[in-house]
């Protein structure tokens, strides 16, 4: 059975605006916003905490097993929000949105979130070196990956509108 709705990954360095975009899109489209960080915490899909980085060390096998129990691959309509994207099976995913942010804006957002030292530096460097964009391009075919700017509040509305139009076109192409 083909899926009735597409699945969308929203990825990017922490602080680029994944949650902001995923929440709006889920609300407007009636999709499920699946925050992988939250899921990992709620279901203990980790091997403990990395105290230096102040984050959970994700158990990828457990995470994937958990995702398999959800109707992602049967019904679709999921927005997967995570700072990684190479774990999701390619056949589940119809669009990968990589959000990008200018260095100074990202620095301010992460500082406001309390990031400092190595954690702050590594995340800002990761954005400068476009690690997530490269990961997305290495993991999915070219036409599935779209890079969107998330520097200013006004960018969010434009990006959300663009993805909504894409979902409409997907439904038309898939007999919806
Ligand atoms: P992420 O989920 O990628 O970590 P977020 O959605 O929590 O990011 O956003 C981090 C902070 O930045 C939050 O205070 C909202 C703000 N923000 C997100 N997108 C923005 C944008 N395009 N312009 C200005 N601020 C933005």
Protein residue whose Cα sits closest to atom 5 of ligand 1: 17
The class of domain 8-154 in CATH terms is alpha beta
- Cα–Cα distance for residue pair 96/3, rounded to 1 Å: 17
Mean pLDDT computed over 6-25: 98
Q: Taking 80 as the threshold, does the pLDDT of residue 159 lie above it?
A: yes
Question: What HEC string does 54-113 produce?
Answer: CEEEECHHHHHHHHHCCCHHHHCCEEEECCCCCCCCHHHCCEEEEEECCHHHHHHHHHHC
Which atom of ligand 1 sits closest to the CA of residue 159?
22
Query: For ligand 1, is residue 15 a contact (CB within 6 Å)?
Result: yes
User: Residue 1: pLDDT band by 50, 70, 90 thresholds?
Assistant: low
Average pLDDT over residues 111-127: 96
For residue 112, report the distance from its CA to the centre of ligand 1, in Å: 11
Domain extents for the chain?
Answer: 8-154
Least Cα distance to 166 among 27, 49, 16, 8 occurs for 8
Query: Distance from CA of residue 6 to its chain's centroid?
Result: 14
How far is CA 136 from each of CA 3, 110, 142, 143, 144, rounded to the nearest angstrom?
A: 22, 22, 9, 11, 9
Instruction: Tell me how far the alpha carbon of residue 133 lies from the centroid of ligand 1, in angstroms.
Output: 18
Between the CA of 176 and the centroid of ligand 1 the distance, in Å, is: 32
Average of per-residue pLDDT values in the chain: 96
The pLDDT tens digits for 79-100 are 999 999 999 999 999 999 999 9
pTM higher than the cut 0.90: yes
Atom of ligand 1 minimally distant from the CA of 20: 6
Sign of dihedral through CA atoms 123, 124, 126, 130? Answer: positive
Predicted confidence at residue 41, as pLDDT, reads 95
Q: Does residue 13 have a pLDDT over 90?
A: yes
Q: Rounded to whole angstroms, how far apart are CA atoms 148 and 150? A: 7
User: 42-59, pLDDT tens digit by residue?
Assistant: 999 999 998 887 789 999
């Amino acid at each position: 059975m083909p899926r009735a709705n597409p699945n969308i990954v929203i990825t990017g360095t922490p602080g680029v605006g994944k949650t902001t975009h995923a929440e709006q899109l889920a609300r407007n489209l009636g999709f499920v916003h699946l925050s992988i960080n939250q899921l990992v915490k709620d279901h203990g899909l980790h091997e403990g905490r990395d105290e230096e980085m102040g984050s959970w060390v994700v158990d990828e096998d457990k995470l994937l097993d958990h995702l398999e129990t959800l109707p992602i691959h049967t019904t679709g309509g999921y927005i997967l929000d995570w700072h990684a994207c190479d774990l999701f099976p390619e056949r589940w995913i119809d669009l990968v949105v990589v959000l990008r942010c200018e260095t100074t804006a990202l620095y301010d957002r992460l500082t406001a979130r309390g990031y400092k030292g190595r954690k702050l530096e590594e995340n800002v460097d990761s954005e400068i070196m476009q690690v997530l964009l490269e990961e997305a391009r290495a993991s999915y075919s070219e036409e599935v990956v779209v890079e969107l700017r998330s520097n200013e509040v006004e960018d969010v509305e434009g990006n959300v509108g663009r993805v909504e139009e894409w979902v409409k076109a997907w439904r038309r192409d898939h007999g919806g």
